[in-house]
Chains A and B, each alone.
Chain A
Amino acid sequence: MHNRIKELRAGQDLSQLELAQKVGVRRETIVFLEKGKYNPSLRLAHDVAKFFGLPIEEVFLFDDEAGPSPGRETVGR
Chain B
Amino acid sequence: MKRTIVMFVIGALVLATLALWVFKGHFAWNIQEMVMAGIVLIVVGFAVYLGLSRLRSHGRGEPGEDELSKTVMMKASSLAFYISIYLWLFIMYFSGKTTLEAHSLIGAGIAGMAVVFVLCWLGVKLFWMKNA
User: Contact residues of A with B, CB < 8 Å?
Assistant: 17, 20-21, 24-29, 32, 36-41, 43-44
Contact = CB atoms under 8 A, between A and B. Distances in A.
A64 to B, nearest CB: 15
A41 B67 contact: yes
A17 B60 contact: yes
Contact of A21 (B61, B67, B69): B61
Secondary structure dominating the interface of B: loop
Given A20-B62, A24-B63, A37-B130, 13 more contacts: A21-B62, A25-B68, A28-B69, A29-B69, A32-B129, A36-B130, A37-B129, A37-B132, A38-B68, A38-B71, A38-B130, A38-B132, A39-B131
Contacts of A29: 66-69
B32 interface: no
A21 B132 CA distance: 22
Contact of A26 (B68, B129, B130): B68
A38 B57 CA distance: 19
B114 to A, nearest CB: 24
Contacts of A28: 68-69
21 contacts: A17-B60, A17-B62, A20-B62, A21-B60, A21-B61, A25-B63, A26-B66, A26-B69, A27-B60, A28-B68, A28-B69, A29-B67, A29-B68, A36-B130, A37-B132, A38-B132, A39-B132, A40-B67, A41-B67, A43-B67, A44-B67
Nearest to A1: B131
A17 B60 CA distance: 8
